[in-house]
Amino acid sequence: MRSTAQLRLALMTSAFITASLCAAPALAQQATDTEQVSSIDDIVVTARRREETLKDVPVAVSAISAERLDETGAADITTLQQQTPNATVQIARGTNSTLTSFIRGVGQQDPLWGFEPGVGLYVDDVYVARPQGAVLDIFDIERLEVLRGPQGTLYGRNTIGGAIKYVTKRLGQDPELDLRAAYGSYNQLDLIASGSTPLNDTLRIGGAIARYTRDGYGTNLTTGAEHYNKDVTAGRLSVEGTPTDDLFFRLAGDITEDESNARHGYRLKAPTTDGIYDTRAGIGEEGYVRTRGLSFTGEWNVNDAMTFKSVTAWRDGDTKGDGIDFDGLPQPILDIPGYYADSQFTQEFQLLFEGERWQGVAGLFYMDASAEGAFDTVIGLYPSMGPGLPAGLTTYTGGKVDTESFAVFADFSYDLTNQLSLSVGGRWTQDKKSVDQLRQNYLGIKSPFFGNNAAIPAGAPATDYTNSDTYSEFTPRISASYKFTPELTGYAS
């Protein structure tokens, strides 16, 4: 279902237009040529919050450049699963834009409120706490980085499984416009426009907008709706400034809206009359996911050895729709309508150090986040309990979790010799969590929260819980790396 042709149009300041139509064999040849001339010395990453060549980083990290992503036809961040060892990065059930990610078996399967994923997602150093809307499409990007294993001594929010970094490119000094269009099977149409222009010698503005549509791979044979379709719109806008050679700032905003239908899963082998992507579910014609964010990043090169960085960010998101039909049958049995909403504010300060034989990062991190949600579990159909009483039984689950987090972290490396380096780091984190949780059975199909005002509570709540607690922990890290040859580095941590 990959697109079979790609049309690019680039308009540069030298006032010329270049257009090219690239067929798949040409792209394959281009990828081969690029791989032949590139080497590991060319791969620069910021896994440790500073620019280093990939082979010099004593962290299990994979980096994929924008060029490589383009050559392989990558559509979104889930391409990491095919190109990164020990990583599972997939679209979760239900929507096209909720992320399920595992690294070395650590992660989170369901996007429930109050559970932060074991794999942290960072967009330009901004921590994204919730997996809804986290299936980021590949546009206006410089590279993707995947760090395997705990990264708490290097990053603001602790990540016990690892971290995925989505790094967008900085705006250029010259006006630039790039238009891309791709068409493929199932009427897939990808439209991407990005560009930037200087406002004066020190200020630049740029943005990108993307529209992704695709017919469904299958059909809901009960409702007639498309199944596994795609209807996503995404955009980013940023303003960058360099008042002096030692100062840089970026104000950036982004929004993603996914109005694709709910996904109910597919069969490995379908019945004779159905396709593997067809479903007979009784719900799921509508879905909606929206995420948006605003961030301000400032960097000050204090001197040749020290850089101060501040990252301030706000994000929110909400998810709603018909939900998922787990039994895949028309009857209202195991139907799960759901709702999620979240918001977060984060502030991070970093000090980056670099000397002749030593490097390091120290930082402070603060997060104030709230996540709430609700879902019904329509357990089954039952006869009416009496005159005026509804048939059916539903379990409603809803709640809210507030999190306030503060952390201090640092990680320093020293070159004992030209071959041997030692790194020592530590992190202290304090989290305060407050929770409200309700679980109530109802007579009827769906609860009042999801529109059935005739539903009647069946007994007392199974759970009616409110509490708060504070947790703190110190976690150290030590590693050593040795350069056996200019091309070979080993490390232990």
- Kindly report, residue by residue over 67-107, the tens digit of the pLDDT: 887 777 777 778 888 888 888 888 777 677 777 888 888 88
Q: Does domain 3-492 have CATH number 1.10.3720.10?
A: no
State how far the Cα of 59 lies from the Cα of 159, in Å rounded to an integer. 14
What ranges do the domains of the chain cover?
Answer: 3-492
Name the residue among 354, 398, 359 with its Cα closest to residue 376. Answer: 398
Q: What is the pLDDT of residue 390?
A: 64
DSSP 82-116: HHSTTEEEEEPTB-SS-EEEEETTEE-SS--TT--
Report which secondary-structure segment, H or E, holds 35. Answer: helix 24-37
In the predicted structure, residue 215 carries a pLDDT above the cut 80: yes
State how far the Cα of 146 lies from the Cα of 148, in Å rounded to an integer. 6
**Distances in whole angstroms, Cα of residue 163 to Cα of each of 282, 349, 360, 405, 493:** 38, 19, 19, 18, 17
Of 52-56, 60-64, 176-180, 205-209, least confident by mean pLDDT is 52-56
In the predicted structure, residue 24 carries a pLDDT above the cut 50: no
Q: What is the pLDDT of residue 167?
A: 85
Mean pLDDT of the chain: 82
Report which secondary-structure segment, H or E, holds 68. Answer: helix 66-71
In the predicted structure, residue 37 carries a pLDDT above the cut 60: no
pLDDT band at 28 (very low <50, low <70, confident <90, very high): very low
Provide the whole-model pTM. 0.83
**For the segment 223-275, what is each residue's pLDDT rounded down to a tens digit?**
888 988 989 998 999 999 999 999 999 999 999 898 988 888 788 876 667 88
Q: What is the pLDDT of residue 151?
A: 78
Q: What is the pLDDT of residue 387?
A: 60
Q: What is the pLDDT of residue 71?
A: 78
